[in-house]
Structure 1
Amino acid sequence: MRAIDESPGGPVAVHGLVTVGTAGYWWLDTHAGARLLRGDATGVHAVDLPEGPDGLTPLAVHPADTGPSAVLYGHPGGDYGYLREPAAPDAVLARRPSLVHLERVPSATGGTAGPGFVYTGFAPGARLDDPPVDGLRVAVHRTGEPFAYDRAVALDDGPLALVSVEATGDPAAVLVRSTAHGRTTQRLLRLDPATGRPGLTTVSAASTPRTRMLPGADRWWHGEALGTPRAVLRAGLPGGKEGGERVVLPEGTAVAWAWATRRALLVRTVAGRGAEALYRVDGDTLQARLVAGGRPGDSFPEVAASPAGDCALWLRVSRRPDGTAEGRMELLLDGEDRPRALSATEWPAPVPRTTRYCRAGDGNRLPVQLSGTAGPVLLLEHGGLTALANAPLERALEELARAGQLTLARVGTRSLVPAHRVPGGERGYNDLLHAARLLREESGARRPLLVLGHSMGAVGAARAVLLEPELFDGWILRFPVTDLVGFPYLGIGRHWTGMLGDPSRTDQLSALTALSPLHLPLPAGPLPPLLIQTGTYDTRADARHGLRLADRLRELAAVTHSSYPVGHVERFCQAASRRAVAEVTEFIRRCPAVVVHDLEGASQ
């Protein structure tokens, strides 16, 4: 490790937070490149990484307190990569970021016990340039041995399983979450200390995708329906399947998510008009204590903790008295009352936001946050771009809003649900359309209105334009999902049937067809200009989603389709990502309605 001697200049992206023992790790991206940093009681240091294969980039690094670290190398923004550790003579294709270190693993060849890890990957011989969709397995690896010797763990979920592994407070056990046929099962995988053979014990079935089991050293925490008004947190003794005593938080706070350390639980809450805060729940008393945030302007774009570690790490963005903002990495050790400030960086202060409310077709009131007061209005789904507030595109859009060239409208759309349970396209699928009606009513015809959809958010954006094209002056679909009928045959779409519905079933096929942007009836008149961006290495939203919609609409709209050598996410340090962001901002500026609006404004 190397000491940090200076702060990087220019835009910064912080992401990929990981905690190991009493240290926290994070990626720091700038135009010059990406660095992995370690923060602990001694300060902040840069972590030296081994050279990877030519043309590939580190997607994830899983440090170890002792011994070598495992690194996943793949295409920028991709989901698959070659998993390597310095002592092993080979590599294996794996998915990120499911990898958990174990303290002692007996050798598969009969040797003595040593450090190892459990990961989700594919059989030896699988290739990165043609990543398999089926065949994902859980495997146990011993450091220094060939990956070909790894023990595979049979889950008996069939070929449709989505699998992840998570650390626990037991150094010889991990939690395995697998989803098959729309049902998520949580199992505890524990290694026999003598033979190293894995044993599986089912601990609970996750009733919703937002269910969490967090097995710490002294408490097993259970969160149900996190991020919804029905969220509940419980604490039980190790081995308890559904938790025990309910965790009580201050009145008026809504639980968004939770992370466990060895001894405590860290809870992210939202209160009032979106004020964010972090509470720590002590494992002995179950008392919740505020440890960060709670003030207007505070937000926590990313948080990390592990039941195998002794600390929590987070990125806090706060507003200074002069109106500017600052991003700070903070570390909270078990047993300490206050977090330690590790590093700080300049942060583009977002334009002060005002909130409007639109009424969806099913009667629900949806918040629409407006940043800026001038220029065209760009409507986007609040969570549709990324979970991180410092994503390259969102930072670029904020810069335009501060310069008075754009007004951002973020709508808090609701989670997607299976199509056959969504009468008339409500519950998320049409929320962007209702927000657009509100914005058009407030601004009239004086200001151009554009809509942007990313990933699943592209479903709502595309539906809004195809259903009421007269509302919009342009639309942007980035790495989109557009085919709700053929998605099981595109990339990893076969794993989405529990979330979207199953088109192989006649009763669900009709509902999916009615919601799918690729299958909606086309309007008679022309459509506004359209920009579609796809990623060559995007295994989540397969590029064919965007290609098929572009081909269908060319006779009705001026369609620009661009493909970039990236996956589903972006980084500042990747030139292709910067080009993709620049294309979006340029498309907005050159949209015909925007050009006319700017000329009229200049002449007045």
Structure 2
Amino acid sequence: MARQEGVKEQIVYPAARRQELVEKLHGRTVADPYRWLESDEGAECAAWLAAQDDLLAAQAATWPQREMFHRVVAELAGNGAVAVPAVTPPLRRARRRFFLHRAPDQELPVLMVAEDGEPPRALLDPLAVDPSGRTTLDAWRPSWTGELLAYQLSYQGDERPALWVMEVAGRRVVDGPLVPGRATPTAWLAGDDGFYYVTLSRSRGSGAAPQRQVRLHRLGHDPDRDAVVFETCSPQLSVKISPEGRWLMLSCAPGAQSGNMLWLAEVTAGQEHVLRPRLLHDGSADGAQAVLTFGPGGRIYAITDAGAPFGRVCAVDLADPRAPAWRTLIAQDPPAVLTGCVPLPTPGPDSDVATAVARPTAPGPASASVPGTALDLGSVPGPDTAPDPASVSVPGTALDLGSVPGPDTAPGPACAPGIGPVPGSDSGSEEVCLLLSRSRHGAAELSLHDGEGHQLAEVPTPGPGSITRLTAPAHGDAEAWFGYSDFVTAPAVYRFSLHDRRCHPAAPATTAVPAPAAPATTAAPAPSGSVPGPVSGLAEPGQPPPRIRQITYASSDGTPVRMYVIAPAAGQQAPGPRPTLLTAYGGFGASCLPAYSPTILAWVRAGGTYAIANVRGGGERGTDWHAAGRGLNKPNAFADFIAAATWLIDHRWTTPRQLAIKGASHSGLMVAAALTQRPDLFAAVACSAAVLDMVRYPYFGLGPWWVTEFGDPGQADQFDTLLGYSPYHRVRPGSAYPAVLLISPHHDARVDSMHTRKMTAALQHATTSGNPILLRYEEGVGHGPRAASRWSALQADILAFCAAHTGLGSP
């Protein structure tokens, strides 16, 4: 046993055997004393993990605010959060609208369907499939007619889903299971008789590189005989089909948020299994991304960051559909980042909608900004988003090729506009408007454009927060839907109408008789209540909402970096430094934007300050900002984060004894790097589901996908950078580390839990401070979705731990 003298008590850590394992890599001597913890099999590791559970339980019992945070976070999570949504924008197919809804007392979102003129009804409830709450709905896609639904369920967060097909009217399973790839998109044929999907190749022999394939499945046929229509060695492959079923887009990329190759294939009736894809865009050399979207009248559009790091919208002419021939309709508008674009059909010239569209309202440049969106947001009420980095998924541009179309979104990054009718189309007279969403310094903007890209109007947004999941019906309707939230406004769904060019809160949706969930036969309770509208000012009852500021500070190399600071309203707390919780994401081009977060509100309600730094590596300033913090530039992200901490201390927002940092996934790497580089700056560190061994990460989980983000340890020049910041390798025996809570989901299929096990053992062996080094090992969950109560309990424990070690009192 290793013994440490703590300030409050003596801590006895579980013994972890140290191996004398040293390797020579690229001329460097690298020790790996805890390699045996890369496997969790065997009695030795099981006993060590059980002892860690006992230590955590004993320490958690001393956290004064634990019960309070469990109560408050659960209460606030009832309004929804990124990880546990209460409601999502609908996806319309013919006469039906599909959306997710979770009532405050429900553990998981329920897939709902509403037919025109009828109240919504529950279609699929994961809890009816598995009452334990460990089965999640990973992805879903209705057919173009809305008569059938393809959906994917996985167990315990392993993200190895089974794909099923349900008849929507009778809620009857008619096909499945298939075994696709991880949360693969499905591309339905126009006739509802089958779909394309992505899967791994069947066995190709020992040592063969895994192939990703697009297969065509005909309903009712043996999946083992599904035709392979496209194949690639790239780890990421996605598909999307046009509503009329004529065109299939295929996109493949060597890693997450890296340049992609884009193909287009014509689908011929009766020959859907025979494709001749044509390469349109190749971003493998310059890192540029592009995606196609399909508009009315057979139009095809492209959204790309090629030559436009903030994103542009292009028209694609099928006479020459290759990228060099794309015609820019809407140019980039720095510093606003393009986050979405949908085409809306405009009816005939005599309709009310056409008249409204033809009436320009705001002359001026197409890139005019919405007033009051920059810098100091003051105490403007708004949803509270800021990344709980565990749940950050908002892309820096509209090109989030790394994320699969989610269970509640239309495929791909946002739809785009187009040019004229495609030859052979019978809809050539149909005009198009383009609705764009952008994020300017973190504040959402909406603008309406004609089919040639000229701006018709600025559209007032619900507030200075985030717009997500901008979608439009596949056929016909002159409306669009999106989600909105900000730091103090709970997530709500809005509808944009071309009739008046305004955004309207979605009407409350009452629920109906519960539906049996497939493939199980057990019925589950229907969601109760109504779909929540906007809920503002979610401060403690009787208290003013938090004060929100956006400041700019200088990083170590002088680069200006923006940061949100959310604090109790003036007069609620005594002036001067106070317990502060700092986070950032800084990777994969993901943006930390204002959004509703029960975690933030609970911390601020208790009297603390919460800060979110928009460091390099994110997408808040476009793809160049991402590039400045990826690969060999990854240390810039950590430098920006450490500079944020020193700025908060220097400007008397907090002190090292009151400053905690937290993060999950890439954000977990962020805080672990800061911990090992500047342990003197922090009182507490909470690190969840993080990549921590940068030398061996490609061998575990989705590590091979991340080489484009982190670098390749097999290359000498990249190895030096990776080893230089690898948290596991930077742990120094004899150092005085702050209190650390390391968290790992046991079934994490993305970030293997070996990272957390090895880091825990290394820190417990090394520290001399007496501050606790704790491991929270979660059974039955993975990296992604989980039941609301488990999500709330995790966030509450993180806050209680940070509060206990920064001196944060009760509210």
TM tier, shorter chain?
0.7 to 0.9
2:236 and 2:334 mapped to 1: Cα distance? Answer: 36
Give the TM-score normalised by structure 1.
0.82
> Is the partner of 2:755 in helix, strand or coil?
helix
The answer to whether structure 1 residue 331 and structure 2 residue 331 are counterparts is: no
The corresponding residue for 2:649 is 440
Cα 1:388/1:348, change in 2 over 3 Å: farther
The corresponding residue for 1:568 is 783
1:523 and 1:212 mapped to 2: Cα distance? Answer: 49
The corresponding residue for 2:420 is none
1:119 and 1:577 mapped to 2: Cα distance? Answer: 31
Q: Which of residues 263, 270, 285 is equivalent to 2:452?
A: 285
Deviation at 1:342, TM superposition (A): 2.3
Q: Which of residues 330, 333, 338 is equivalent to 1:247?
A: 330
Identity of aligned residues (%): 17
Q: Which of residues 354, 357, 360 is equivalent to 2:549?
A: 354
Cα 1:583/1:228, change in 2 over 3 Å: farther
Deviation at 1:570, TM superposition (A): 3.9
> Is the partner of 1:428 in helix, strand or coil?
helix
The corresponding residue for 2:93 is 21
The corresponding residue for 2:393 is none
1:534 and 1:335 mapped to 2: Cα distance? Answer: 50
1:154 and 1:540 mapped to 2: Cα distance? Answer: 25
The corresponding residue for 2:79 is 11
1:315 and 1:292 mapped to 2: Cα distance? Answer: 15
The corresponding residue for 1:212 is 291
The answer to whether structure 1 residue 71 and structure 2 residue 238 are counterparts is: no
1:172 and 1:508 mapped to 2: Cα distance? Answer: 44
1:116 and 1:471 mapped to 2: Cα distance? Answer: 57
> Is the partner of 2:766 in helix, strand or coil?
coil
Contact 2:340 2:415 in 1 (8 A): no
The corresponding residue for 2:681 is 471
2:600 and 2:153 mapped to 1: Cα distance? Answer: 30
Give the TM-score normalised by structure 2.
0.62
Q: Deviations over 1:446-500 (max 9, x none)?
A: 8600111211122221111211111100001111121222111111111111222
* 34-43 or 576-585, larger mean C-alpha shift: 34-43
Cα 1:83/1:252, change in 2 over 3 Å: closer
Could you tell me which runs of 5 or more consecutive residues in structure 2 were left unpaired when the two chains were aligned. Answer: 1-75, 166-172, 342-413, 418-431, 508-531, 539-545, 618-625
> Is the partner of 1:457 in helix, strand or coil?
helix
1:318 and 1:550 mapped to 2: Cα distance? Answer: 35
2:476 and 2:287 mapped to 1: Cα distance? Answer: 26
Q: Which of residues 131, 136, 146 is equivalent to 1:57?
A: 136
Q: Deviations over 1:58-100 (max 9, x none)?
A: 2222123343211101135553310011222543243215122
Q: Which of residues 421, 435, 439 is equivalent to 1:270?
A: 439
2:253 and 2:593 mapped to 1: Cα distance? Answer: 25
Aligned length: 563
The answer to whether structure 1 residue 171 and structure 2 residue 239 are counterparts is: no
Contact 2:199 2:213 in 1 (8 A): yes
The answer to whether structure 1 residue 84 and structure 2 residue 164 are counterparts is: yes
Contact 1:102 1:173 in 2 (8 A): no
1:94 and 1:18 mapped to 2: Cα distance? Answer: 25
The corresponding residue for 2:316 is 236
> Is the partner of 2:91 in helix, strand or coil?
strand
The answer to whether structure 1 residue 530 and structure 2 residue 740 are counterparts is: yes
> Is the partner of 1:422 in helix, strand or coil?
helix
Q: Deviations over 1:472-530 (max 9, x none)?
A: 00001111121222111111111111222111222221122113222225274210111
Cα 1:539/1:407, change in 2 over 3 Å: same
Contact 1:361 1:426 in 2 (8 A): no
Matched ranges for 1:91-490 at <5 A: 91-104=178-191, 115-122=193-200, 134-155=210-231, 157-158=232-233, 160-180=234-254, 183-199=259-275, 200-206=277-283, 207-208=286-287, 210-217=289-296, 218-225=298-305, 230-238=310-318, 240-242=321-323, 243-248=326-331, 253-258=336-341, 259-260=414-415, 263-271=432-440, 273-282=441-450, 284-290=451-457, 292-294=459-461, 296-305=463-472, 312-317=480-485, 325=489, 327-332=491-496, 337-339=501-503, 341-343=505-507, 344-347=532-535, 349=537, 351-373=546-568, 375-381=578-584, 394-401=597-604, 403-415=605-617, 417=627, 422=632, 426-443=635-652, 445=655, 448-490=658-700
Deviation at 1:581, TM superposition (A): 1.8
- Structure with greater strand share of residues: 1
> Is the partner of 2:776 in helix, strand or coil?
strand
Deviation at 1:57, TM superposition (A): 2.8
Deviation at 1:584, TM superposition (A): 1.0
1:469 and 1:363 mapped to 2: Cα distance? Answer: 23
Cα 1:266/1:80, change in 2 over 3 Å: farther
Contact 1:170 1:216 in 2 (8 A): no
> Is the partner of 1:488 in helix, strand or coil?
helix
Cα 1:177/1:265, change in 2 over 3 Å: farther
Cα 1:580/1:410, change in 2 over 3 Å: same
Q: Deviations over 1:201-246 (max 9, x none)?
A: 2121234365333243444333333998543332233462222033
Contact 2:585 2:663 in 1 (8 A): no
Cα 1:53/1:101, change in 2 over 3 Å: farther
Cα 1:31/1:215, change in 2 over 3 Å: same
Q: Deviations over 1:527-558 (max 9, x none)?
A: 01111111223222222222221121112342
> Is the partner of 1:477 in helix, strand or coil?
strand
Cα 1:390/1:435, change in 2 over 3 Å: closer
Deviation at 1:46, TM superposition (A): 3.0
2:469 and 2:299 mapped to 1: Cα distance? Answer: 24
The answer to whether structure 1 residue 586 and structure 2 residue 800 are counterparts is: yes
Cα 1:544/1:318, change in 2 over 3 Å: closer
Rg (Cα) greater in structure: 2
2:476 and 2:751 mapped to 1: Cα distance? Answer: 33
